[in-house]
Amino acid sequence: MATNLIILGDREPLAWVLENQRMAFPAGRSTGLPEKGDEILLYTTRGCFRNPGRDRGRIMGLATVTSEVAALPEPVSFGGRDFTSGCTLQVHGLAPRHEGVILADLVPQLQVFPDPKTWSVRMRRASLKLPEADADLLRRELQPMLRTRAAVLGQYAL
């Protein structure tokens, strides 16, 4: 089992992921994607809620991949981009909206970002595999903030 950081940059796909407990990936992505059984840490970028001056990039959810990534019968589209493959998730917990672990604060402690000055470059993808020590740290920081999916799902609805 690996842990993947799933990077969500807009509230519309975030709401879809949380409501449907599914993840979709853009056309052309075939490497670095999670596998069935992998743990997922959901990350919202500072622009996800369309107010990057106020918001911070946060890890705000914990899930498990429950199916292999496969071609979707019909692509889903967000912001003019087609997402042609996907998998199902079981969301175990969510932090309330605008809460969660601020990733930038922990970058110097994370192995996945060997150069803290350029860490954001590694975030320009849908999924990022995390070293075990990084996953442990982020999970420990997130755990006290988590609520049930049902308790906070409405905060993420459009």
For residues 116-125, b (16+ Cβ closer than 10 Å) or e, as one string? eeebeeeeeb
d(Cα 116, Cα 113) in Å, to the nearest integer?
6
Scan for tokens 């840490």, then name that residue: 41
Read off the pTM. Answer: 0.94
Averages of pLDDT over runs of 10 residues in the chain (158 residues) are: 95 97 86 93 96 93 97 93 95 97 97 92 89 98 98 93
Closest alpha carbon to 19 in 76, 82, 73: 76
What's residue 98's pLDDT? 93
What's residue 84's pLDDT? 94
> How deeply is 58 buried, as exposed, middle or buried, from its count of CB atoms within 10 A (0-12, 13-18, 19+)?
buried
What's residue 72's pLDDT? 94
CA distances from 30 to 3, 35, 41, 128 (A): 17, 11, 19, 13
Half-sphere exposure of 79 (CA within 13 A, CB side): 11
What's residue 37's pLDDT? 98
Q: What is the largest CA-CA distance in the chain?
A: 41
d(Cα 36, Cα 52) in Å, to the nearest integer?
33
Q: How many CB atoms lie within 10 A of CB 135?
A: 20
